[in-house]
Structure 1
Amino acid sequence: MLPRVHDVDLLTHRVGLLEWGPSDGRLVVALHGFPDTAWTWRRVAPLLAEHGLRVVAASMRGYAPSGIPADGDFSVRALVADARALHEALGGDADSVLLGHDWGAITTNAVAADPASPYARHVALAVPPFSAMSGWDPALLRQPLHSWYIAYNQVPGLAERTFDWLTERLWRAWSPAYDAREDLELLRAAVPDREHARAVVSYYRAMLGRGITPALAEPVHPLLVLHGDGDRCMEPGLARRAGATVVPGAGHFLQLEQPEAVAEEISRFLA
């Protein structure tokens, strides 16, 4: 099932959209992560559309065909504002759903922590709420080995110059059993130059200070967390501690590796 391709204007930039399912179906706004694109939902979205859901996958700010925002803001607060604005722009109602992976999951968790969230249900893949991962766990000793790229992305100009090398390495490391060649080609189209690469890695630079604050709050709305049992970006042990449903046979990009299982869990949660 091929998606409908269109876009919508928000206050600071235009957002490129991929849409599956009936135009009058229950709205599911789907947000991708790093280093990825809206096409990451191309295997799960058609399965959800078969259940009558209208899945709209947005290219996150800074990823073409979405624009680089005029305000230059890549904080979680700005990502939350985009998620809320998409709900309104797409005609969402009180029964709408927010679905996110990686940075999209961080955004989803933060929206789920907002008492005024316009979404009824929230689904986060690969990143549980940070508030649920407090306390000691042996997985904490292994996590820094996976998270080196966060420090790497802080160095001015470095990630921009080495973006292709960095992202190919991360896909191989995070989902070692998955063939990411198609996704990497899609990523090159979404991040075609250093200006876009700077925008994409600025999500990590905006983590410093108060930019991450909304993601630290405790979710107060219904939230489903899914996590691959072979994830090498975020330790599965931390996800289990946070109450995540673990999907067998999947790494970090579980929506691509096990789309049927992911779609089934989401459909069950929404039902």
Structure 2
Amino acid sequence: MSSPPAVFGDLDDRTRPLAVLVHGFPDTPFTWRHLGPVLAEHGYRVAAPWLPGYDAPAGRPISVGTYARHILDTAERYGADERAVLIGHDWGAQAGYGAVVAQPHAFGRFVALAVPPIAALSGLFGYRQLKRSFYVWFIQQVGLAEPALLAPGFWESLWADWSPGYDATADVEELRRHVGPDNIADVIAPYRASFQPDFADPDAATEAEAAAHPPPVPTLYLHGRTDGAIGVDAIAELSGHFPAPGSSAEIVDDAGHFLHLERPDPIAERILDWLAVR
């Protein structure tokens, strides 16, 4: 059974707009400990759900479509309306594209962090990006990847590569409390489903396909200039990939992949400024 989301503000007060904050890999809702309270202070009620498989074994296939459907279920459960905003990081961003494409009226606005639309990844198969993406290919090795990822030092090294200079001790400790031998295969399942159809979630095929399309709602996209997971050299000109009026895309200086943790105050300020413009 899935754990309840992390909550900031009064989730039952439906006079306030809903914000759904979705973590990525390898992470937990703990990642929103800075942004969640700030949004609550500015009038939002915030739900930060666990992605399926992170808090307990899922017992079913998991793909990006599974994540997108989970986001949409969360929005429905907590009464999202036209004021609602979806904020996703990493897989949370990728699943967010699927959610807003599959159901454009579920959220009024979308903030995506660290993973642009697929069509914007013009350098995905260049040598430098392939080096960064070694873990994706290794994850395809069933039975070999699971113990390697759980071995001491793996998560710590990955976070250090992705967000140079950031101290991820607390984040990795929280991750290890929830991800272990019983559910590591579920946590990495979307990577396998992306390349091996046998791993895909057949019940979320529509949402998975939707995740490959640009968002039809106003979107703010932020990407760290020193991101070690997806380098800025692998990304094409961003503006054309966010077609909805009011959208904006920026490269953030002095920030890596976990930019909302590395520079929590400037990122929160940028998001709030953008949300304030109607």
Q: What is the DSSP-based 3-state SS (H/G/I as helix, E as strand, rest coil) of the residue aligned with 1:261?
A: helix
Of 169, 183, 192 in structure 1, the residue corresponding to residue 157 of structure 2 is 169
- Counterpart residue number, 1:207: 194
Q: Counterpart in 2 of 1:102? A: 90
Q: Choose from 47, 54, 57 the match for 1:68.
A: 57
1:122-166, Cα deviation, whole Å (9 max, x unpaired): 1110001112334xx599442111101001111112221122343
Which residue of the partner structure matches residue 145 of structure 2? 159
Q: Percent identity?
A: 38
> What runs of 5+ residues in structure 1 fail to find an aligned partner?
1-12
Answer yes or no: is 1:263 the counterpart of 2:268: yes
What is the root-mean-square deviation in Å for CA atoms of aligned residues? 2.0
Aligned residue number for residue 6 of structure 1: none
1:155/1:28 CA distance change after superposition, 3 Å: same
In the TM superposition, what is the alpha-carbon distance from 1:240 to its structure 2 partner? 6.1
Does the 8 A contact of 1:18 with 1:38 survive in 2? yes
Look up the SS of the partner of 2:230 in the other structure.
coil
Report the Cα offset of residue 209 of structure 1.
Answer: 4.9
- Structure-2 residue corresponding to 1:248: 253
- Give the corresponding residue for 1:219: 215
Q: CA separation in 2, counterparts of 1:117 and 1:74? A: 24
Tell me the residue number matched to 1:184.
172
Give 1:101-180 correspondences, 5 Å limit.
101-114=89-102, 116-134=104-122, 140-164=126-150, 165-180=153-168
Query: What is the match of residue 243 of structure 2?
Result: none
2:28 to 30, 33, 37: 37
For structure 2, the 5+ residue unaligned runs are: 201-207, 240-248
- Partner of residue 245, structure 2: none
Length, aligned pairs only: 253
- Give the 3-state SS of the residue equivalent to 1:105 in structure 2: helix
Which residue, 8, 12, 17 being the options, matches 1:26? 17
- After superposition, the C-alpha distances for 1:218-253 in whole angstroms (9 at most, x for unaligned) are 221111111111101011234462233122211100
**Distance between the aligned counterparts of 1:153 and 1:234, measured in 2?**
17
Asked whether the equivalents of residues 109 and 128 of structure 1 are also in contact (C-alpha less than 8 Å), the reply is no
Larger CA deviation: 148-157 vs 87-96: 87-96
Higher strand proportion (structure 1 or 2): 1
TM-score, L = length of structure 2: 0.84
- Structure 1 stretch displaced more, 16-25 or 209-218: 209-218
* TM norm structure 1: 0.87
Which runs of structure 1 show a deviation greater than 6 angstroms over 4 or more consecutive aligned residues?
A: none
Partner of 1:195, secondary structure, is coil
Q: Deviations over 1:94-130 (max 9, x none)?
A: 2211111000010112223235441111111000111
Contact kept in structure 1, 2:226 and 2:255, CA below 8 Å: yes
8 Å CA contact 1:34–1:102 kept in 2: the answer is yes
Contact 1:113-1:218 at 8 Å conserved across structures: yes
In structure 2, the CA distance between the partners of 1:138 and 1:118, relative to structure 1 (3 Å rule), is closer
Letter of the 1:78 counterpart: T
Kindly provide the CA deviation profile for residues 13-47 of structure 1, in whole angstroms up to 9, marking residues without a partner as x: 42431111243221111110111111001011112
